[in-house]
Amino acid sequence: MKKILVTGGAGYIGSHTCIELLASGYEVVIVDDFTNSVAEPLQRLQKLAGKSVSFHEVNLLDEAALDAVFVKEGQIDAVIHFAALKAVGESVEKPLMYYKNNISGSLTLFDVMQKHGVKNLVFSSSATVYGDPEETPIKEDAAVHATNPYGHTKAMMEQILMDTSHAFDWGVVLLRYFNPVGAHESGEIGEDPEYPNNLLPFVSQVAAGIREHVTIFGDDYDTVDGTGVRDYIHVVDLARAHVKSIEKLAKHDKGTLIYNIGTGTGYSVQQMVETFRQVSGKEIKTVVGPRRPGDIAECTADATLANNELGWSASYGLQEMIESAWKWQSQNPNGYRDAK
């Protein structure tokens, strides 16, 4: 394994993964169309890594342009496929847009890979495929029943990839991410949502004075303090899980491997906000609101399989996750927009 093509490499998890790939000695080819991202992180990640990447501005639905990338780049050993839409609420309102981007875009990519003999893939899946799990921590063999169009696209993609790896002898790793948070230790790259849907970017913006308060979506769950519990994972740890997956594919027989990527420890909304207060020294106002439709009480990972088979485990704790998130927020009050 030498040359890795990364779709969505300008995005939050993609950009951190590219840094880790470069640090591990891989050549990186990025395909991104800046749907939910900008070019700035590409400059920054190359500077941080002290190495350059090859970049192509291409939409995955554009088969001819994608084909031209594979022709131009020559041998690609594996693909890490991040590019996708990811907002649950939006997916409920615009399901066709989600199916077209996340499914049709991926099918085009896989066709082009097959044509060029590229048979190794790491796919961004999500704990959302488990829906409301019967028990936590969740193991990989728990039932898959996603509850919204975004989650359905992830579950469908998993099935498509299992069938494809079986038919064409591909090596596939499906990584089911729990809740990625935090930023690169430099504070130079991080999550830059236009409007934050997830808890931690929202809390960051309240701490920074951009928004007035955090609404806690329900405090009557059967959890430690009544607020929702999630398994937050540092984005740099998550990025490293992709490098480990590439290493695994280099040694592994063909077929599909599925791994949960989380720390195994859950924190409540209240605990997250309180830790953010301590780290930032800022007042963070909270208001308790109703439950968000579709939310579950608790979701944590059993990551034993990733520990044993990928040789991966999370190295950062909650303090480092929140410190890095706050550093990114403080250094870039308007995300990448100031740099444009």
Q: Catalytic amino acids?
A: 150
Q: How many C-alpha atoms does 299 have within 13 Å on its Cβ side?
A: 25
- C-alpha torsion 192→195→201→203, nearest 10: 150
Q: Which is nearer to ligand UDP, 204 or 256 (CB)?
A: 204
What's the min distance (Å) between Cβ of 97 and ligand UDP? 19
What's the min distance (Å) between Cβ of 128 and ligand UDP? 6
What is the enclosing helix (H) or strand (E) of 240? helix 235-251
What DSSP string runs through 293-319?
Answer: TT--SEE-B--HHIIIII-------HH
What whole-number distance in Å separates Cα of residue 112 and Cα of residue 89? 31
Q: Which residues bind ligand UDP (CB under 6 A)?
A: 179, 197-199, 202, 214-217, 228, 230, 269, 292, 295
Residue matched to tokens 């480092």? 320
What DSSP string runs through 145-159?
Answer: ---SHHHHHHHHHHH
Question: Which residue number is nearest to ligand UDP in terms of Cβ?
Answer: 228
Q: Which is nearer to ligand UDP, 17 or 179 (CB)?
A: 179
What's the min distance (Å) between Cβ of 196 and ligand UDP? 8
Residue matched to tokens 């796919």? 123
Q: Which is nearer to ligand UDP, 161 or 216 (CB)?
A: 216
Q: Which is nearer to ligand UDP, 151 or 171 (CB)?
A: 151
What's the min distance (Å) between Cβ of 182 and ligand UDP? 13
